[in-house]
Amino acid sequence: MATGQLNSGQLNSGPSDQADFAAAPWPAGPTGRVPFRAALAHTWYLTGRKLHALVRQPWVLAFSVVQPVIWLFLFGQLFRKVIDIPGFGYHGTYLDYLVPGLIAMNAMSNNMWAGMTMIEEIDRGTLNRFLVSPASRIAIMNATVAEQAVSTTVQSLIIVALGLAGGARYHGGAAGVAVMVAASIGVGVVFGALSNVVGMTLRSREAIIGVYTFFMLPLIFLSSAFMQTSLMPGWMQAIASRNPLNWVVQIGRSAVSAAPDWGAIGVRCGGLLVLAVACVAVSVLTFRSYSKNV
């Protein structure tokens, strides 16, 4: 629930945030649509508003990676002999195998709480105040996506550093780590956008908690985060091949390996990008529908 706390804090913008926001260029076209350059400026200032809150509460980021860190060292030690199972087919330690899975899991888990932000802003009236301003509707949603991307990046790098300290090795170097983090941002955008859709549509914290509870563990265990899919039953392998979380795990694991399969990485990244764009588009449409009914 650490992400929910962070998002609540983001609503309390300080005077400097309000001044920056007021000073931003807000020209609207004759049809009420905001020009593209103005929409970019709106996104910049609205993202800054959220990041200022993040900087004021850095401890929230630290608490958000507590669970993955526990899994990293607990599971890393508990299942370290798993790689000796015939057919596991992984060259390296189990900690090497586990880190990409935990980064993907953390990105999905934290961003699935994003809808709590929308509900908080609706309840506090913050969102409605933005709606009566000339701010771009797309910028309001893009600012949330950008803030989630920054949070996911910081959290992923913390897990990478802790994994390195624990003995994990990233043979793909900085480029491989960068690809792994970028993929985690992509899956975070997917589930963050879907969480925003749930938040704006149902406006219920219980609904978001229910969605999180229903999907979180099945998506994790129907991926190769902890176990090679080749050792799973056939029906689980079929689901895992269509699971975006598993795509991210496979992208990260291949990218930081000694011999990355860039062709497969490119295909999975392309699929993840298409899915992320589609989910963001759905969240924008849902937001526009909400704004028309206010």
Please say if the pLDDT value at position 130 is more than 90. Answer: no
Q: How sure is the predictor about 134, in pLDDT bands with cuts at 50, 70 and 90?
A: confident
Q: How sure is the predictor about 26, in pLDDT bands with cuts at 50, 70 and 90?
A: very low
The tokens for 13 are: 């913008």
Buried b (16+ CB within 10 A) or exposed e, 137-148: bbbbbbbbbbbb
Q: How sure is the predictor about 18, in pLDDT bands with cuts at 50, 70 and 90?
A: very low
Q: Collapsing DSSP states into helix, strand and coil, what is residue 129?
A: helix
Q: How sure is the predictor about 235, in pLDDT bands with cuts at 50, 70 and 90?
A: very high
At 244-266, the pLDDT tens digits run 999 999 999 999 999 999 999 99
The tokens for 168 are: 């994990």
Residues 175-181: what's their mean pLDDT? 96
Q: How sure is the predictor about 182, in pLDDT bands with cuts at 50, 70 and 90?
A: very high
Report how far residue 35's alpha carbon sits from residue 42's, in angstroms, rounded to the nearest whole number: 10
Q: How sure is the predictor about 33, in pLDDT bands with cuts at 50, 70 and 90?
A: low
DSSP for 67-113, written as a single string: HHHHHHHHHHHHTTTGGGSTT----S-HHHHHHHHHHHHHHHHHHTT
Report how far residue 2's alpha carbon sits from residue 117's, in angstroms, rounded to the nearest whole number: 12
The whole-number pLDDT of residue 220 equals 93
The CB-side HSE value for 16 (13 A sphere, CA atoms) comes to: 5
What values do phi and psi take at 257, rounded to 5? -80, 170
Residues 188-198: what's their mean pLDDT? 90
Q: Mean pLDDT over all residues of the chain?
A: 82
Please say if the pLDDT value at position 141 is more than 80. Answer: no
The whole-number pLDDT of residue 3 equals 42
CB neighbour list of residue 23: distance below 8 Å, 6 or more residues apart: none
From residue 242, alpha-carbon distances to 48, 199, 218, 260 in Å are 35, 25, 13, 21
Report how far residue 236's alpha carbon sits from residue 233's, in angstroms, rounded to the nearest whole number: 5
Question: 35: which DSSP letter?
Answer: P
Q: How sure is the predictor about 67, in pLDDT bands with cuts at 50, 70 and 90?
A: confident
User: Are 102 and 159 in contact, with CB atoms under 8 Å apart?
Assistant: yes
The whole-number pLDDT of residue 294 equals 65
Please tell me which residue, 8 or 69, carries the higher pLDDT value.
Answer: 69
Question: 229: which DSSP letter?
Answer: G
Element (H, E) at 223: none
Report how far residue 145's alpha carbon sits from residue 132's, in angstroms, rounded to the nearest whole number: 21
Please tell me which residue, 143 or 276, carries the higher pLDDT value.
Answer: 276
Please say if the pLDDT value at position 154 is more than 50. Answer: yes
Report how far residue 22's alpha carbon sits from residue 29's, in angstroms, rounded to the nearest whole number: 18
The whole-number pLDDT of residue 136 equals 75
User: Are 2 and 60 in contact, with CB atoms under 8 Å apart?
Assistant: yes
Torsion of CA 274, 280, 281, 283, to 10 degrees: 150
- Tell me how far the alpha carbon of residue 81 is from its chain's centroid: 31
Report how far residue 175's alpha carbon sits from residue 180's, in angstroms, rounded to the nearest whole number: 9
Buried b (16+ CB within 10 A) or exposed e, 123-135: eeebbeebeeeeb
User: Are 239 and 219 in contact, with CB atoms under 8 Å apart?
Assistant: no
pTM of the model: 0.81
Q: How sure is the predictor about 271, in pLDDT bands with cuts at 50, 70 and 90?
A: very high
Please say if the pLDDT value at position 10 is more than 80. Answer: no
